[in-house]
Amino acid sequence: MDVQVEELSALTRKLTITLPSDIVQPKLTEAYDKLKSESRLKGYRRGKVPRSVVEKYYKGQVEGEVGEKLVQENYFDIVEKRDDVDPITHPEIKDVKYNDDGSFTFIAEVDVRPVFELGDYKGLEIEKEVVEVGDDEIQQELERMQRSRAPLQSVGDRAAQKGDTVIVDFQGFYKGNAMPQVKQENYSIELGSGNMGAEFEEKLAGMKKDEEGSHEVDFPETHPNPMLKGKKVEFKVVIQDVKERVLPAIDDDFAKAAGEYNSLDELKVAVKDRLTGRRQVEANGAVSDKLVQKLLESHDFEVPNRLVAYEIDQMIKQTEQQFEQMGMSLEAAGINRDTLVEQNKEMAVQRVRGDFILKKIGEVEDIKVEDEDMERGFKRVGDMYNMPVAKVKEFFKNRDDLMPFINELLNEKILNLLRESAIMVEPVEKPEEAPAEEKKEDGE
């Protein structure tokens, strides 16, 4: 077996691998013998077709299938035994060929792990995230709970106003043409929520049940829906119904109906604890982001193109899923995939580089994902999706799903170490901008 390693770039290696005839030919013979026993060719009894005839009809198929097996069965064993190649991506296999001497050659191009010096990562100074929950936030949460528990009832002939829920049919038109993706029937919109945009909701206010109307809405270039951003859209609407919420009083009875609380004061304590816990999770995430950003600023090295391409592909798939949930596709929204690649490239590079830095810290600190970490992770997913842990484990049986999950748990442990060692400093208050001085008249 012969292996030639060529350095195509700092992070890409070309492996030219030649397997000898005594490995290759038995595989070919086995494949041809199997075909001979199964083939039915005119003029020959089953199992009696000469190999030369089988080769005439099936050579391309056999060599293709055997070639794939030879690569799969030998590539990983070969690279594991070599110290000069440390692949971190699946190989790109090319130039597969059977040689005249019976040997088999293929080329595997792989990206390798970048080599870099790990700088300081403990005791990094990070601005503290404030975790406070005020009385006004508790009141807002109670009001949200109040609205969520309030039944809806029709308002009759009264015009819609802020806070009402309007059941509406609408069709969007752009330059006189109906927009298939901007159409809904019996669609519920809470006026004032901003879910459909403030301008659109404001124009529904004042309309009554069974009323029809036409409203133009200018959508800014920053609008999240690419079908609407930067466009003036005419909406033809029909109000099917107008409903209001019958709000219960926020009192002890409300608290008892909300759960195992004996009084409104108990419910307020529980709400504060819940909001504080949520705020702490958000704060931890913000601190982790700041730590990674600091590490990126102090570690600059090239990252493998294939990993960056994979990260970009994952980001684009996430965008596609978001469009699918809105009943659209990238093409329908007029979004070019190549444009998305360019837009996401820098973020993808940062993510890949950050992951390498974290993994190197994990190696230095000997941080590993233990069984108890896996159990905690499974339980968290179960709590999030209201699934039993057994079902969660069943989902993660597939290696392609399990490996990203393990990677996430490992990064969490590494970031926990960094947060625990970080020096938290008080946020710096930004000075208020002084009002611009009035320009003096000439001659003053």
pLDDT, one tens digit per residue, over 205-214 is 999 999 999 9
Report the alpha-carbon distance of residue 345 to residue 136 in Å, rounded: 42
Report the alpha-carbon distance of residue 41 to residue 313 in Å, rounded: 47
Indicate the average pLDDT of the chain.
Answer: 89
The mean per-residue pLDDT over the stretch 59-70 comes to 92
Q: For the chain, state the CA radius of gyration.
A: 32
Token digits of residue 33: 């013998």
429 pLDDT above the threshold of 80: no
192 pLDDT above the threshold of 80: yes
439 pLDDT above the threshold of 90: no
pLDDT at residue number 362: 96
Structure confidence at residue 322 as a pLDDT band (50, 70, 90): confident
pLDDT at residue number 212: 95
Token digits of residue 15: 């492996």
What domains can you pick out in the chain, each with its CATH number?
2-111 (3.30.70.1050), 116-150+248-300 (no CATH), 151-245 (3.10.50.40), 301-425 (1.10.3120.10)
Which range among 46-50, 68-72, 423-427 has the greatest average pLDDT? Answer: 68-72
Report the alpha-carbon distance of residue 278 to residue 174 in Å, rounded: 42
The mean per-residue pLDDT over the stretch 417-426 comes to 93
Question: Among residues 313, 328, 342, which one has the least CA distance to residue 226?
Answer: 328
If phi over 0 gives left and psi between -120 and 50 gives alpha, with beta otherwise, what is residue 96?
beta
Name residues whose C-beta falls within 8 Å of residue 19's C-beta, 6 or more positions apart in sequence. 1, 70, 74, 103, 104, 105
How many angstroms from the chain centroid is the CA of residue 260?
Answer: 37
Structure confidence at residue 440 as a pLDDT band (50, 70, 90): very low
Structure confidence at residue 336 as a pLDDT band (50, 70, 90): confident
Measured CA distances, 326 to 38, 260, 301, 321, 329 (Å)? 51, 38, 39, 9, 9
Judging by DSSP bridges, how do beta strands 92-98 and 12-19 pair with one another? unpaired
Q: What is the pTM of this model?
A: 0.73
pLDDT at residue number 53: 79
Residue-wise pLDDT tens digits, 340-393: 899 999 999 999 999 999 999 999 999 999 999 999 999 999 988 889 999 999
442 pLDDT above the threshold of 60: no
150 pLDDT above the threshold of 60: yes
Residue-wise pLDDT tens digits, 283-303: 999 999 999 999 999 999 999
> Which of 46-55, 178-187, 262-271, 374-383 is predicted with the least confidence, judged by mean pLDDT?
46-55
Report the alpha-carbon distance of residue 207 to residue 4 in Å, rounded: 77
pLDDT at residue number 42: 65
The mean per-residue pLDDT over the stretch 169-175 comes to 94
pLDDT at residue number 40: 67
Expressed in angstroms, the distance from the first to the final Cα of the chain is: 91
Q: Which amino acid is at 111?
A: D
Question: Among residues 59, 64, 58, 78, which one has the least CA distance to residue 18?
Answer: 78
CB 218 within 8 A of CB 172: no
Give the single-character DSSP code of 112.
B
Residue-wise pLDDT tens digits, 96-108: 999 999 999 999 9
> Which of 85-99, 218-232, 249-263 is predicted with the least confidence, judged by mean pLDDT?
218-232
Structure confidence at residue 229 as a pLDDT band (50, 70, 90): confident
The mean per-residue pLDDT over the stretch 137-147 comes to 94
Name residues whose C-beta falls within 8 Å of residue 214's C-beta, 6 or more positions apart in sequence. 234, 235, 236, 237
pLDDT at residue number 350: 96
Judging by DSSP bridges, how do beta strands 423-425 and 125-127 pair with one another? parallel
Extended strands (E) in 335-435 = 423-425
Report the alpha-carbon distance of residue 74 to residue 298 in Å, rounded: 40
Question: Among residues 387, 386, 388, 405, which one has the least CA distance to residue 396?
Answer: 405
Judging by DSSP bridges, how do beta strands 423-425 and 165-174 pair with one another? unpaired
Measured CA distances, 105 to 94, 210, 359, 362, 431 (Å)? 10, 75, 35, 38, 68
pLDDT at residue number 207: 95
Question: Among residues 278, 291, 276, which one has the least CA distance to residue 420?
Answer: 291
pLDDT at residue number 4: 93
What is the three-class DSSP state of 247?
coil
Report the alpha-carbon distance of residue 239 to residue 373 in Å, rounded: 53
Residue-wise pLDDT tens digits, 1-21: 899 999 999 999 999 999 999
